[in-house]
Amino acid sequence: MVEIAHRTIEANGIRIRLAEAGSGPLVVLCHGFPESWYSWRHQLRALAEAGYHAVAPDMRGYGETDRPDEIDKYTLLHMIGDMVGVVDALGASQAVIAGHDWGAPVAWHAALLRPDRFRAVIGLSVPFRPRGAVRPTSVMRQDDHAQFYQLYFQTPGLAEVELERDPRRSVRTILYSVSGDDPADGGNPAIVGGFLNAMTDPARLPFMDHGCGRRLLRRRVRPHRLPRRPELVSQHRPKLGTDGALRRAPGHGPGPLHHGRS
């Protein structure tokens, strides 16, 4: 069986953890939420056996890749810059890029904005959607009864309070509920009260019975703390009004399209 190797590289001003297998033309695999390189473990081996150099990074903010505190360091442009940096660090001039879930917008826009570095693009579960006339979050449902999870995550600190209460249970519940194994189909995008309320906790995931699964959780499930700088804490502390409305987080600024070069 093809072995999956791991290493950490420096790219776009952060340390990025990679899982890789095989040799040949480069294929970069971008995972979604709440995942890591582990989501691509089967594809890494299959691509390696087919004659490719398959690489799955822990994306910015996930797993063993760095997670900057600043909110505006997580734009699509920053993440595209990370993927360009991965291609550079591996000594390749071009790569095919694939993305699943929240990794799909990274893949689509990497191919759109840097076609010189990404010669082909593969999108799984999320089709390309061009920029519209209005901000998507402005038309998502948000009232006293329910809101989309994207809005729930907009207010810094709110989701952290719920998900960090028991990180292991949170990840287990989300992974199971958005999988095909949950008979209740708990992957509902509308949030009522809390993110996990409409989901199913299976108490144990099937892959946890394997050594690799236990090591994955032991090494990667850990809380992410909000930045302690007073100006950020005071500006972004979540506030709930008497009507249940949430204050929206500030907009995101631009980021780099390269990997740290000026």
Q: Write the CATH number for 55.
A: 3.40.50.1820
Residue 260 lies in a domain: no
Domain boundary among 112, 131, 150: 131
Residue 26: the pLDDT is 98
Task: Report strand pairing: 118-124 vs 95-100.
Answer: parallel
Note whether 88 and 182 are same-domain residues: no
Token pair, residue 184, equals: 């209740």
Q: Could you give the CA distance from residue 245 to residue 241 in angstroms, rounded to a whole number?
A: 6
Note whether 126 and 173 are same-domain residues: no
The number of domains in the chain is 2
For residue 113, count other CB atoms closer than 10 A to its CB.
Answer: 16
Residue 19 lies in a domain: yes
Give the best-scoring range by mean pLDDT among 9-13, 141-145, 196-200.
9-13
Domain boundary among 90, 106, 131: 131
Residue 68 lies in a domain: yes
DSSP letter (8 states) at residue 16: E
Note whether 41 and 148 are same-domain residues: no
Give the best-scoring range by mean pLDDT among 106-110, 190-194, 214-218.
106-110
Section 158-186 average pLDDT: 83
Note whether 150 and 233 are same-domain residues: yes
Q: Report the candidate in 250, 239, 237, 155 with the shortest Cα–Cα distance to residue 195.
A: 155
Residue 124: the pLDDT is 95
Above 90 in pLDDT, residue 154? no
- By the 8 A CB rule, do 75 and 101 touch? no
Residue 256 lies in a domain: no
Residue 104: the pLDDT is 97
Above 50 in pLDDT, residue 226? no
The amino acid present at 254, given as its one-letter code, is: P
Sheet holding 14-21, edge to edge: 5-11, 14-21, 53-57, 26-30, 95-100, 118-124
Above 50 in pLDDT, residue 35? yes
Above 70 in pLDDT, residue 12? yes
Section 24-53 average pLDDT: 96
Residue 255 lies in a domain: no
Residue 184 lies in a domain: yes
State the distance between the two ends of the chain, measured CA to CA, in whole angstroms: 42
Note whether 211 and 113 are same-domain residues: no
- By the 8 A CB rule, do 257 and 77 touch? yes
The amino acid present at 189, given as its one-letter code, is: P
Domain boundary among 106, 131, 156: 131
Question: Chain-centre distance of CA 122, in angstroms?
Answer: 17
Kind plus residue range of the DSSP H or E element containing 123: strand 118-124
Note whether 142 and 102 are same-domain residues: no
- Reduced DSSP (H G I as helix, E B as strand, rest coil) percent helix, strand, coil of the chain, to 5: 35, 20, 50
Note whether 170 and 77 are same-domain residues: no
Residue 261 lies in a domain: no
In this prediction the pTM is: 0.75
Note whether 117 and 155 are same-domain residues: no
Above 80 in pLDDT, residue 242? no
Note whether 121 and 170 are same-domain residues: no
Section 210-228 average pLDDT: 43
Note whether 137 and 122 are same-domain residues: no
Kind plus residue range of the DSSP H or E element containing 216: helix 211-220
Residue-range definition of the domain harbouring residue 79: 1-131
- Look at 70-84, 130-144, 153-167, 242-256 and tell me which has the smallest mean pLDDT: 242-256
Residue 211 lies in a domain: yes
Note whether 125 and 144 are same-domain residues: no
Residue 34: the pLDDT is 87
Alpha-helical segments (H) within the chain? 41-49, 76-89, 103-113, 149-152, 158-163, 167-177, 211-220, 230-236
Name the average pLDDT for the chain. 79
Q: Could you give the CA distance from residue 182 to residue 185 in angstroms, rounded to a whole number?
A: 5
Note whether 108 and 156 are same-domain residues: no
- By the 8 A CB rule, do 94 and 119 touch? yes
